[in-house]
Amino acid sequence: MQGKSNEQRQWRPPLKKLTLDLVEPQREEGSEVWEVVAIARVQMGNQPFSGASVQFSHQGNDIGLPVMTDGIGRAKKVFPDLGVGSHTISATLVETGVSVTDTIRLKKPDNSKQTLNLELQPAEKIGQEWLVRAVATVTTGNNPIANSEVQFYLQTISWDSPVTTEADGRANQEFVLDKPGRWVIEATCGALKRKVTINIPEDEKIVPVELVAQCLNTQNYGNYTKYITSWQVFSSKGEPIPNVTIRIFDSDLAEGFKDFPTDENGSAKYETRISGTEKRRVIEGQVLNHPKIHDFMSLYSNSGTT
């Protein structure tokens, strides 16, 4: 027999592969509504494929317009306000019609369980000692529980007698700390237990007042541009502050944000990519717990992809 012709042996590109992941559902305390993020990934062979059009659907109904995959082959869709029950989410590769489906079941939260929360107020220095006020709250669902006994501990040693919760479910206790360092305060109520750590610094705390963003480097890879950015924190004296947490808000992140600590130069580095189809993206940085101390950066694609 004669062998196959060259035309019959011609090379064909590998098929595009589509996968779908659902991020752990998120909801606010006491709510029965969840937010679910779906992430579709497209590969050609073993390589991520950018610029593919993916249509997301919920319970068989298309949601919004198709989403293009980014430089690492990802397309994301947020499904807010999903209630109790079973939810079928699908991703379809528009070009081929290939579809993948996943189902998530959201169960009604059990608000009948008793919970214990513990919060510490900022330490107040009095002479050579520090006064710390602790507040333990006992609730069932969103309802405070009165007349519950809460025992407080300092460094695993019981502190004074148990405190009975008031009508608002709160029990208050004051602790006197005699030196700087790491202190562990604990509260127990029956089988419930909560621990909180407080650090008393040796020197006066330096408060951040300014956050400065700058681009350190850009690298063009054809279908996307890689950005290396720096986020530096300064005190009122203009000095960089190490060990400060910077929260970066970027739509390319699965949860929409990520925290980074500053190094000895008061700087936190963050890398991201922007595809040619995206053209422009704005990212924001904030000093954690200080949302007014923030800065923005606009990123542009230099890939030339249309």
CATH of domain 208-300: 2.60.40.1930
Q: What is the pLDDT of residues 244-280, one digit of tens each?
A: 999 999 988 888 999 999 999 999 999 998 887 887 8
Class of domain 114-200: mainly beta
Write b or e for each residue in 59-94: b if 16 or more Cβ atoms lie within 10 A of its Cβ, otherwise e.
eeeebeebbbbbbebbbbbebeebeeeebebbbbbe
| pLDDT of 119 higher than 80 | yes
Q: What is the pLDDT of residues 10-38, one digit of tens each?
A: 666 678 899 999 998 988 766 789 999 99
**What pLDDT was estimated at residue 236?**
84
Q: What is the pLDDT of residues 232-241, one digit of tens each?
A: 999 888 889 9
Number of C-beta neighbours around residue 19 at 10 A: 13
Element of type H or E holding 129 = strand 129-140
Q: What is the pLDDT of residues 183-242, one digit of tens each?
A: 999 999 998 999 999 998 875 667 888 999 999 998 888 888 899 999 999 988 888 999
Two domains, one topology: 16-106 and 208-300: yes
**What pLDDT was estimated at residue 206?**
73
CATH, domain 16-106, list 2.40.160.60, 2.60.40.10, 1.20.120.550, 3.40.50.1220: 2.60.40.10
* Domain ranges within the chain, ordered by starting residue: 16-106, 114-200, 208-300
